[in-house]
Every structure is written in C-alpha cells, then in structure tokens.
C-alpha cells in the first residue's frame, strides 16, 4: 500500500509539471478547451471510481450494506412442518432474497456504467477534436504535444487513485464478514454440497497431478505423430526428435511441479483474481475431500436423490430417484417405444450379428475392405449403450428428455459413418426451411419484416411431441431413401443407395441399452444420442412439413424449423390458423403438433414481438434461467473464458432491435459475468473487441445503433477452410494453471529443432485436454 502511495505521489508531481508546461505554450483555443474539459474529467473520475468499485463488489460478492441488509426470512415451525417442506420454504426465501439483491445490484451497476460511459464518450470526443493545427497565428503543435503528455499523466493518476480506493474492499474480504444472512437459512448439513454445486457442471479444479500422470502417454503420442510426419517425407527423424522430446519432457515436468503460491494480497495488482483463486484453492482442499468422501456419499445420496445437469440451463438439478423412475415408466408407457428384455444381456449376440452383417456386405461387394475394417468391431472395444434422462427444468413439472449414451455401442461406428455421409445432403436439401441458430432466424426475420410486417401478423411456435420416439423405424429409414431420390442420387461416394438403406435399417433396428439394472430394445423411433437419429428425424420432418411450408409461403408468411420445433409468422386470423393446425395434425398419425399462438413468442434463444406492426426482438431467457457462466477461476485456458463475454455480447448486439434493449442486455450480461468472477477489465476489453471486429470505431448511440447493427447483419460468414492434415499437426496436452506460457515455449522448442528440418512447413496446433469437471465427478449417467 505504501509503495502505491509513493507511486501516486510521483505521478501527481509529473502531472503538475506537465500542466505547467502545457499552460506556457498552449494557444488560447487549446487553453479554453482545457478549461471546459477539466470539470468534466473531474466528474468522470468520481463516476468511474464509483463504477469500478461497484463492479468489484459484485465480483467479490460484497454488495453495499443497503442491498445486503435486505433479507426476506422467517422461522418455520419444524415441529409441525416436515424437514423437507421446511427446507423447501427456506430455499424459496433464499431465492426471493437472492433475486432482489441481484436485480438491485444490476440496476445500480447499470446506472453507474451508463453515467461512466456517456461522460467517457463525451470526453473522448472533445480530446479527439483538440486543436492540432495553427490557429490565429499560434503554433498549435507544441501545445497539442504538451496537452497529450499532460492528459496521459492525468489518466494514469486517476487509474492509481481508483485502484487505491478499491483497496478497502480487499481488506474487508480478508477480514471476512461471517454474518451473511443468506447463509443462515441453509441447512448446515448441505452447506458443503451447496458451495460445491454452485460452481456448476463445467467447473475444473487445478489438478497438476493428473496432468503429470498423463504427460508420458501424451508425449509418446506426439512422438509417434512427428515420426509419421518424417516418414511421409521418407527421411529418418534422427537425433533432433530425441532432443526435442527430452527437452519437452523436462519442460512439462517443471510446469507440473510448480507449487501453487498465495500472493501477498497487498502487493499483487491482480489482487481480485488472486483472492478468488485462493478462495477456490482453499475450497478445493475441502471439496477434494468432499468429492473423494462423497464418492460414497453421493452414491448413498443417489439412493434417494439424483444429481443431474439440467437440459439447457447449464446448472445442476437435484431430483429424487423415485420421481425419475416414475417419470421414466410413464414415458415408456406413453411412447411404447421400448421392449424390456429383463436380465437378458443382448451385447454378445449384437457384437456377433454386427460383424457378420458387415462381413456379408463385404463378401457381396456392397462395401469395400477398407470400409469393412473401419466399421467392424472388437468385443473388448464395445459396451452396451445406457439410458439416462436430462431434466427439462425450464418446463412445468420438470419432464425428462431421454438420452441413450452409446459412444461404444456396437452400431455406433456405422451410425456415425452414415451420418457423416447424409447430414451434408440434408443440410443442402432443407436450407430454405430450416434454421440452425437464433442469429440465422433473426436475420431472416428482419429481412422479411421490412416489407411484410404489419399490425395483424401473428407468431406461432409448434412443438412436435416426442419426435425421436414416435417415428416408426421403417418409415424413418424410407425417409432417407426419399431424400436420396429427391436429390436424384444413385450413389453417395462409392456406396450404392441400397447399401446405405441396408446399413441404416440395421442401425435403427438394433438400438439396445441398459437402464436401472435391466436391458431394453428400442422398437420404435431412433435413439436420441445416436448420430444417425437426428438426420433421420430431420428427413422425416422435411417431407412432412412440405405441405405446411407451402401454405405459409403462399399466405405471405414465414416458416422455419429447428429439429422438432416449428416457427411461423403470418397474417392469418387466429381461428383460421388453429383450423389449419388441426388439419396438419391429421397429415401423419406419428406426428402430433402442440401450438402456441400470439403477438409475441420465443424460438430458440430469441424473443420476438409485434409492436403495432414493428418487429421487436431481444434475447430470450427461460424462466429457469440462472446467471451462470463458466466461472473465471475455473482452470480452463484463458482464451476460452475470454470468448464468453465476446460471444454473449455479440449475440445481444445481433438480437436486440433497440438501443435501450441492447444496453439492458449488456448490463445484465455484465452482472452475470461479475457474479462468475470475471474481472470488469476483461469484460470491458471483450465488449470493445465486439465493436472492433466489425470496424465500429464510434460509441454506440440511439442515433447510430440501427446502422451498425445492420452492418453486423451484412457481415459475411467466415467460411470454414478445409484442413490439410499433411501440413497441420494437432497436439494435445492436459491443462493446469501453470501451463499458461506453455504454448509459447512449445513453439520456441519446435522452431529450434524443426525450423530447418524436412517438416518445417508443418504447423503444430496446440489443443488442451481437461481433467474431470464437476459434472463428470458428480454425475453418473448409468
């Protein structure tokens, strides 16, 4: 602290001297502008300080007293109310308190940010227009240079003052205020679990031991890849490879053995990040024990309860085993898609039948020897798929979405092989009636609305009920045949159409899995989780929807589909649209449609509204939305975490049709990122990078927002380039916190040993492998 005060005093002296120098040589116009600027900068300094302190308060979870003291709580008489019911009431109290504090703090930070932004933009404009050319006989260049020097020192001084003013927050955090009313109503038995689950499914602790354990295999894999590169050049790698591997091994061992240090809180400039990381290190020590001890505890917990990742909200969901079993049974009875085999394990027979089927195709010359070797399976490399459910926490009564996890299922190789062939064909065929993202939808909707939007347009979203399990398997396979006929193809690659159909039928008719100790055979629909199922369902829907799409187009409306969700906007009376939906529900007995009609709707992550003939759009967040992003103190490479503020603000810019809505969404995003420990400096950098990406050099205002948003719409997609694997080498190492400088050191070593070698044109690309995240540690999808 004393050192920073000395530094501040030094800068103040330099600033004062620079001001004196400027005063001596400034032209009258320059001095006049300086006098106008001085009170504005003083005001901005105060506003900026307030804004930075508020942002840091959110990051450190230290709201101001007037917000923190708000606590909605009362005592529940547990002699009358059961413990579970009482805890549910306490949880609801906590949620109400939490939502108020979050919203109050968001509004407070948003107001401070806007004041700071408006003043900053005004000052920047004045500085940019500061006189630089000679005026009224005065030489303005020396005055401008002196002003620039003075202004830079002034900014440096204000930055130091802001950093000093935030020091008291860290002192408060170190002292630790244990009187947190929010935690008083959490049952003591679940405090540890509560803290653990708050970190979210994707959170990763620093685990250099696992990285060190893996690096021997990773090095061996890399060595084999480099040897293959030399072999393609028909030369021996020789001694440079051995020296490179030895030096790389030493480098990795050194990095993996770097101790985690706790930096003195008063000396480190990145004190906020360090403090959060130290909290996590301390929490990790407790939670490592918790996870290890909870390997048994979680299993015992799961006798009555289930920990799952929710389907779309990226957070954990706690449910009861009995509820999951009940809903699973109800789902199976409703769809009639699964036949119970009880304890009869179908795996040995399926392995034999799969290999025999492929051999028969090979002998009949329907597939090549290479394809046979690619698709055939070894008994020790496969396992039966298993069924698990993702809770749809955003829907009433939390229905379940069945997922059949079969990465090592005997038919999975065939399924992926076929999907790689067929999906590009479907994408080409259905490009006029499908969308793959909210941005694609808002762009097309925006174009359509310019000419067609009026007060009478209504929105309609339609959900296809249980699409994957309701499509009969034979009809599903035939829809693939219809697609190939529609595209007038006789072959795909070197495969005849009949071969593709036979393989597809084999995949669809051999979906077996285990669930809750029993074996099942899926006799209707496709396994959600099998690669081919999505393409088959999409093809089936394409031919079903053609009548609907044609009607909507002829009626001057707009129609799109995303898998099992349909989107319509049209100028029809509601009664007429309902009659049409009734007719569409009779087109195919396997497809049942459930519609929602109104002047506003949401589709994917986009909210849309017809406001008196004007299209209004913004980001849509489900009722179950939680302000959760990958925590900044999770051990992921920094570029991954920095990409989150960038992509989320870019989405807001694309989706928000008005400047005010954009500002609201931006500050909501800022608040969520701060709550997840993202430093405001990084948030601001990434927010600015969004504008720089599209060459927007002016601050966004209500007057230019539409113009610049259209510029984003008009920007071309970046075409994905085909990778030349002869010139690119992908390399993967397990990431831990000490690996931040590893890429630079790796490329230095690569240039040292291979820069003048026969493989010097090969570009190594480093990727990261992660250790287990909390989802993989805590959730068993068996």
Distances (CA, A) of 676 to 148, 549, 671, 672: 37, 43, 9, 6
**Which tokens is 73 given?**
């709580």
For residue 492, give the 3-state DSSP assignment. strand
Length of the chain counted residue by residue: 782
**Which tokens is 18 given?**
């620079």
d(CA 282, CA 276): 10
Strand ordering across the sheet containing 565-570: 558-562, 565-570, 458-464, 593-598
Q: What's the pLDDT score for residue 266?
A: 36
Ramachandran angles phi, psi of 39, nearest 5°: -70, -30
772: number of Cβ within 10 Å: 13
pLDDT tens, position by position, 133-157: 776 667 788 899 999 999 999 999 9
Q: Any bridge partners for residue 491, and if so which?
A: 496
d(CA 92, CA 181): 14
pLDDT tens, position by position, 369-414: 999 999 999 999 999 988 877 776 556 666 777 777 878 899 999 9
Own/partner pairs for 248-254, CB < 8 Å, 24+ apart?
A: 248/219, 248/222, 248/746, 248/749, 249/215, 249/219, 251/742, 251/745, 251/746, 251/749, 252/212, 252/215, 252/219, 252/733, 252/742, 253/212, 253/215
Q: What's the pLDDT score for residue 179?
A: 42
Q: What's the pLDDT score for residue 188?
A: 35
d(CA 577, CA 570): 9
CB contact set of 106 (below 8 Å; sequence gap of 6+):
667, 668, 671
d(CA 120, CA 497): 65
Q: Tell me which residue of 236, 711, 234 sits closest to 443, measured CA to CA.
A: 711
Q: Residue 286 has what DSSP assignment?
A: H
Q: Any bridge partners for residue 189, and if so which?
A: none
Cβ atoms of 666 and 655 closer than 8 Å: no
Cβ atoms of 336 and 522 closer than 8 Å: no
Helices (H), 700-759: 705-714, 742-754
d(CA 576, CA 753): 73
Q: What's the pLDDT score for residue 392?
A: 67
d(CA 260, CA 658): 47
Own/partner pairs for 358-362, CB < 8 Å, 24+ apart?
A: 358/414, 361/499, 361/502, 361/503
DSSP 37-81: HHHHHHHHHHHHHHHHHHHHHHHTT---HHHHT--------TTTS
Cβ atoms of 680 and 56 closer than 8 Å: yes
**Which tokens is 741 given?**
């400088």
Over 309-361, what HEC string results? ECCCCCCEEEEEHHHHHHHHHHHHHHHCCEEEEECCCCHHHHHHHHHHHHHHH
Distances (CA, A) of 577 to 570, 586, 595: 9, 15, 10
Helix 742-754 × helix 238-256 angle, to 10°: 170
**Which tokens is 59 given?**
């990051």
DSSP 601-617: EEETTEEEEEETTEEEE
**Which tokens is 728 given?**
């690119």
Q: What's the pLDDT score for residue 95?
A: 86
CB contact set of 200 (below 8 Å; sequence gap of 6+):
314, 315, 316, 628, 630, 631, 774
Q: What's the pLDDT score for residue 590?
A: 93
The upper half-sphere exposure of residue 276, i.e. CA atoms within 13 Å in the direction of its Cβ, equals 22
Q: What is the CA angle 386-472-542, rounded to 5?
A: 105
pTM of the predicted protein model = 0.82
pLDDT tens, position by position, 211-255: 999 999 999 999 999 999 999 989 999 899 999 999 999 999 999
What are the extents of the domains in the chain?
A: 2-186, 316-431+471-535
pLDDT along the chain (782 residues), means of 10: 82 93 90 93 93 88 87 90 87 88 89 92 90 73 91 92 80 51 36 67 89 94 94 91 95 83 37 43 52 49 49 60 77 86 91 96 94 94 84 64 81 95 95 95 95 95 92 94 95 93 95 89 87 95 96 96 96 96 95 96 96 96 85 91 96 96 94 92 95 93 95 82 84 92 94 92 92 80 54
d(CA 196, CA 287): 7
């Amino acid at each position: 602290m004393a050192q920073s005060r000395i530094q501040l005093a030094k800068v103040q002296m330099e600033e004062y001297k620079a001001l004196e120098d400027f005063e001596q040589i400034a032209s009258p116009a320059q001095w006049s502008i300086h006098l106008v600027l001085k009170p504005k900068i003083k005001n901005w300094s105060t506003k900026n300080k307030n804004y930075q302190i508020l942002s840091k308060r959110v990051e450190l979870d230290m709201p101001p007293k007037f917000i923190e003291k708000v606590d909605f709580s009362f005592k529940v008489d547990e002699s009358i109310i059961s413990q579970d019911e009482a805890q549910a009431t306490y949880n609801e109290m906590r949620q109400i308190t939490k939502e108020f504090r979050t919203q109050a703090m968001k509004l407070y930070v948003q107001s401070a940010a806007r004041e700071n932004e408006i003043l900053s933009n005004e000052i920047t404009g004045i500085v940019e227009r500061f006189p630089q050319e000679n005026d009224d006989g005065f030489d303005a260049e020396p005055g401008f240079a002196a002003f620039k020097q003075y202004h830079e020192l002034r900014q440096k001084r204000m930055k130091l003052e802001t950093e000093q003013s935030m020091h008291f927050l860290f002192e408060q955090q170190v002292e630790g205020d244990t009187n947190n009313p929010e935690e008083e109503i959490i049952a003591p038995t679940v405090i540890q679990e509560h803290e653990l689950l708050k970190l979210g499914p994707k959170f990763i602790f620093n685990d250099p031991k696992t990285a060190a354990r893996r690096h021997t295999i990773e090095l061996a894999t890399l060595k084999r890849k480099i040897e293959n590169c030399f072999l393609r050049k028909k030369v021996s790698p020789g001694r440079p490879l051995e020296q490179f591997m030895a030096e790389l091994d030493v480098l990795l061992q050194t990095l993996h053995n770097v101790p985690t240090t706790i930096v003195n809180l008063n000396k480190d400039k990145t004190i906020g990040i360090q403090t959060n990381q130290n909290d996590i290190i301390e929490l990790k020590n407790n939670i490592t024990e918790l996870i290890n001890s909870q390997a048994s505890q979680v299993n015992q917990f799961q006798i009555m309860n289930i920990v799952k990742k929710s389907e779309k909200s990226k957070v954990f969901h706690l449910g009861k085993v009995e509820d999951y079993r009940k809903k699973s049974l109800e789902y199976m009875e409703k769809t009639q898609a699964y036949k119970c085999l009880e304890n009869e394990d179908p795996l040995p027979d399926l392995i034999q039948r799969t290999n025999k089927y492929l051999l028969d195709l090979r002998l009949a010359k329907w597939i090549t020897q290479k394809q046979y070797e690619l698709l055939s399976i070894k008994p020790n490399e496969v396992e039966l798929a298993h069924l698990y459910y993702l809770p749809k926490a955003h829907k009433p009564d939390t229905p379940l979405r069945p997922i059949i996890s079969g990465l090592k299922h005997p038919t999975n190789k065939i399924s992926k092989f076929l999907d790689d062939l067929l999906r590009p064909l479907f994408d080409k065929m259905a490009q006029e009636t499908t969308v793959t993202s909210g941005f694609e939808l808002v762009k097309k909707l925006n174009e359509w609305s310019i000419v067609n939007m009026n007060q009478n347009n209504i929105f309609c979203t339609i959900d296809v009920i249980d699409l994957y399990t309701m499509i009969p398997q034979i009809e599903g396979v035939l829809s693939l045949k219809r697609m190939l006929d529609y595209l007038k193809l006789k072959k795909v690659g070197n495969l005849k159409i009949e071969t593709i159909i036979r393989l597809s039928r084999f995949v669809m008719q051999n979906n077996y899995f285990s669930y809750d100790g029993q074996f099942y055979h899926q006799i209707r629909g496709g396994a959600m989780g099998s690669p081919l199922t999505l393409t088959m369902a999409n093809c089936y829907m394409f031919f079903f929807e053609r009548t609907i799409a044609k009607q909507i187009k002829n009626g001057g409306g707009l129609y799109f589909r995303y898998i099992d969700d349909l989107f319509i906007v049209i100028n029809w009376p509601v009664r007429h649209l309902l009659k049409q939906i009734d007719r569409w529900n009779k087109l195919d007995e396997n497809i049942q449609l459930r519609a929602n009609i109104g002047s506003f709707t949401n589709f994917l992550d986009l909210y849309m509204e017809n406001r008196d003939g004007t299209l209004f759009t913004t980001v849509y967040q489900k009722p179950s939305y939680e302000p959760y992003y990958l925590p900044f103190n999770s051990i992921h490479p920094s570029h991954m975490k920095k990409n989150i503020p960038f992509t989320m603000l870019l989405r807001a810019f694309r989706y928000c049709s008005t400047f005010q809505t954009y500002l609201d969404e931006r500050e909501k995003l800022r608040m969520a990122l701060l709550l997840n420990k993202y430093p405001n400096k990084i948030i601001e950098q990434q927010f600015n990078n969004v504008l720089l990406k599209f060459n927007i050099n002016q601050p966004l205002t209500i007057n230019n927002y539409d113009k610049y948003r259209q510029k984003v719409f008009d920007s071309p997609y970046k075409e994905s380039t085909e990778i030349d694997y002869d010139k690119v080498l992908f390399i993967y190492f397990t990431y831990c916190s000490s690996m931040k400088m590893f890429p630079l050191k790796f490329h230095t070593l690569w240039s040292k040993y291979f820069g003048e070698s026969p493989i010097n044109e090969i570009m190594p690309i480093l990727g990261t492998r992660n250790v287990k995240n909390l989802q993989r540690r805590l959730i068993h999808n068996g």
